[in-house]
Structure 1
């Protein structure tokens, strides 16, 4: 029962917590690209690679049947079936139909919600769309519609309004003219296929990208996509190009970062399949984007202050970890910060934070999420958990119903000092309450869109009434 208990208990930390992408063994090796076969044409095999580079599977699933919920401030938007099913998928699409969907957000019979990142795909090259179209014709047709359909509240359920959103937010495709060929390829991957800005660039009041803060970090509900500009105090300026390649390929960077949540999904479904040349191009480009310093600075990791592993083998031995945990709990007040960590978190992440990677639990020693000035991401992960990137990996449960704000604050402070190497951490219960509210806040225009739409309709009707009345009066005059 001990291994079963350990497998069921779960707690992950920070920007890069959880076992969302804890396929450590398989990710450390070059991932073979699925659906590529010598029997396929070169065009189809290229399309399979484009599908990976565009991360289609994160929303449409590995079989392209759709049904994944994309959480937005307007409500959940469900990805559609994009298999060649003629009834439920895109079997009736022409290549031009796919091009319009990808570049303009227009399906043959309706507008597409921008949860599908067509503002980024807007810049996709013709040859990549042609390859993707050829590939999608070869995947097995799933003659079933997704279990859930998008059903947004008024006025967001009026898809024709997206036309006006597109006028405001659909960008003209622009490229920098000061980049070398490798960086140009990286720019195309970052801005278009991988659509990194969809998560890492903040949104304005219309939910369009605020490109004045390009890649400087953005709140995604209870998750925060960090600053990935080359700023050294708040971004990834201290990472080398090789560090970036390693992280995108494996989902981790020893004692600095571990990919979880949406980033875990991106690595699991997309970046680990990219060629070394393309990963290097992304890294080269990210080093030359404008550095933007934000207030969410990161304390430089002090490796000397981090805990050392108990021994070289304990991270691979669940029973030994359980025995060591029992010893560690002895004599520790269960209500103290250390006691809370040992009782709630250590069965998965280990007494000293090195976890059990073989079982899919994330090591948390030295992670940048613990060294950030703003602890909100860490708090929200503890409170709300993180969904695993694949269905064969355990999810990170949330503890907001089990732990009080004071207890969550105590655990946050403990791990930031113990495993983040900070000198002090003074997160309070009030900070926890505030962080949990931040994740659920909506922009003003989104929150009151229904009321504003009704007011707009009433005002339009009143204006129309007075216009008609004025016209009728003018006709009655002699």
Structure 2
């Protein structure tokens, strides 16, 4: 990344003069004073729309998006005329973003056009101008989307779109700042794509808008202002801090898909835009869910050994060696010290200078359903920025009972919960996952075949009936 001054960032992004790039924002890649204001504004829109998460930093695509219908691979959106969108007009891009229609086929909603449907024309124009400037990559994709019948019939998306596009409707009575936050949340950042559960057609279930949803091995939590299960206790500044840095001390640390959102998108937004998102999230309807977060009991949280040890790696190593010597290696505490202690510290305060996250007080430890915590231990997690180390998964190294023991230990020792009774069977169930496909999706192939048979039978009956009538005449 190239560092720019505050004034240069303001000019390069090309937003309004009052929307200067905040000091806390990361320098925006691909912004250059050699480019026009429109192109640089398009680079900002690309980050706000989180294009990089699926299409990669070079926009060549290839990322597999896991869906209940199968893996859908993001395509090349560089100006390559053979493999990318080099032949697209701005009108073509607008149709793709707002209606899910490429020039020669329908697009699967893994590309979040149900949310992009609300993108403003001026933002699409800026994005189109920017995408024309990225280097064209004329390479055949390694993988292409190949879904099973009937999902491989892309024209069926026409009927799905009638039911599910657009995803959200604008609310009335919002302030100008909240309206901007609504636009960013619902359209560009498409937060509901992960945080709003799906209905039987795999469209957004807006009766539970932003109330949390399961995403394969990950759970996108409730981000409505509900106090017990959502983020009602967060201030607007808390939300801004989290979206900027990917963490809030003794509350939450962004990993997995949310870590990617922070790494690729929200950390690049201006403070003004992050503040608008925060203002909007504080006024969305609160939705209470069963997966509540227990309040922080600070009296149960451990204290650092001293003020300097978390920044002194040698002292931490010595302290860890002493701690291991005093406990049974097979006990829950011994397992934690052996597997987790070298990164997260004996007392859970991590190593800030080395980028290892503190885990004291995290909400994932205090949730009634600790699936997120278990999945992090099983499968690991990527940091919110590329300067932080990734956490490895231990599904192949530890038994279910050992993972259960570590889960219970960290929840009671560092989460402050009074008790935790996660069992090996619970770990097995989380590891196995749950078939999240709605009935229509799960049995779509069978239903499609039955439908074809029924249509053919109806046609046959009509022909037979017509022939019978002719014989009688």
| TM-score of the aligned structures, taking structure 1 as reference length | 0.91
Tell me, yes or no, if the aligned pair for 2:62 and 2:142 is still in contact at 8 Å: yes
CA–CA separation in structure 1 for the residues paired with 2:441 and 2:389: 33
One of 312, 317, 324 as aligned partner of 2:307 = 312
CA–CA separation in structure 2 for the residues paired with 1:39 and 1:373: 53
Deviations 1:421-464 (A, max 9, x none): 11111112222223334445432222222222222222222222
**Alignment of 1:274 onto 2:269:** yes
CA–CA separation in structure 1 for the residues paired with 2:23 and 2:146: 40
2:439 paired residue number:
444
Q: Which moved more, 1:313-322 or 1:398-407?
A: 313-322
**Alignment of 1:210 onto 2:214:** no
Offset at residue 28 of structure 1 (A): 9.5
RMSD, matched Cα: 1.8
1:193 paired residue number:
188
Q: Which residues in structure 2 correspond to 1:368-387 (within 5 Å)?
A: 368-387=363-382
1:396 paired residue number:
391
Offset at residue 400 of structure 1 (A): 2.3
CA–CA separation in structure 2 for the residues paired with 1:336 and 1:74: 42
SS for the counterpart of 1:77 is strand
**Alignment of 1:47 onto 2:32:** no
Offset at residue 394 of structure 1 (A): 4.0
Q: Quickly say closer, same or farther: Cα 1:258–1:388, change in 2 above 3 A.
A: closer
Deviations 1:313-371 (A, max 9, x none): 33334443332222111131122111111122212222111222333322211101111
Q: Quickly say closer, same or farther: Cα 1:173–1:412, change in 2 above 3 A.
A: closer
2:296 paired residue number:
301
**Alignment of 1:61 onto 2:56:** yes
1:20 paired residue number:
none
1:291 paired residue number:
286
One of 225, 235, 250 as aligned partner of 1:240 = 235
Q: Which residues in structure 2 correspond to 1:48-447 (within 5 Å)?
A: 48-171=43-166, 174-387=169-382, 394-447=389-442
Tell me, yes or no, if the aligned pair for 2:114 and 2:167 is still in contact at 8 Å: no
SS for the counterpart of 2:144 is coil
Q: Quickly say closer, same or farther: Cα 1:461–1:387, change in 2 above 3 A.
A: farther
CA–CA separation in structure 1 for the residues paired with 2:273 and 2:388: 27
1:467 paired residue number:
462
Q: Which consecutive residues of structure 2, in runs of 5 or more, have no partner in the other structure?
A: 1-21
Deviations 1:254-276 (A, max 9, x none): 11111111111111111111111
Tell me, yes or no, if the aligned pair for 1:360 and 1:393 is still in contact at 8 Å: yes
Q: Quickly say closer, same or farther: Cα 1:28–1:353, change in 2 above 3 A.
A: farther
Q: Quickly say closer, same or farther: Cα 1:311–1:335, change in 2 above 3 A.
A: same
CA–CA separation in structure 2 for the residues paired with 1:387 and 1:147: 24
Q: Quickly say closer, same or farther: Cα 1:377–1:472, change in 2 above 3 A.
A: same
Q: Which moved more, 1:436-445 or 1:384-393?
A: 384-393
Offset at residue 108 of structure 1 (A): 0.5
Tell me, yes or no, if the aligned pair for 1:229 and 1:287 is still in contact at 8 Å: yes
Tell me, yes or no, if the aligned pair for 2:254 and 2:383 is still in contact at 8 Å: no
CA–CA separation in structure 2 for the residues paired with 1:87 and 1:405: 49
Deviations 1:165-194 (A, max 9, x none): 111111276311210100000000000000
CA–CA separation in structure 2 for the residues paired with 1:361 and 1:175: 40
Offset at residue 380 of structure 1 (A): 1.9
Q: Which residues in structure 2 correspond to 1:6-17 (within 5 Å)?
A: none
Offset at residue 127 of structure 1 (A): 0.5
Offset at residue 278 of structure 1 (A): 0.6
SS for the counterpart of 1:71 is strand
Offset at residue 217 of structure 1 (A): 0.3
Q: Which moved more, 1:411-420 or 1:157-166?
A: 157-166
Tell me, yes or no, if the aligned pair for 1:248 and 1:279 is still in contact at 8 Å: yes
Between the two structures, name the one with larger relative contact order (CA 8 Å, sep ≥ 6).
1
Deviations 1:118-151 (A, max 9, x none): 0000000111001110111111111113321112
Tell me, yes or no, if the aligned pair for 1:44 and 1:135 is still in contact at 8 Å: yes
**Alignment of 1:30 onto 2:25:** yes
Q: Which moved more, 1:398-407 or 1:147-156?
A: 398-407
Offset at residue 159 of structure 1 (A): 1.1
2:11 paired residue number:
none
Q: Which moved more, 1:287-296 or 1:425-434?
A: 425-434
The count of corresponding residues between Structure 1 and Structure 2 is: 452
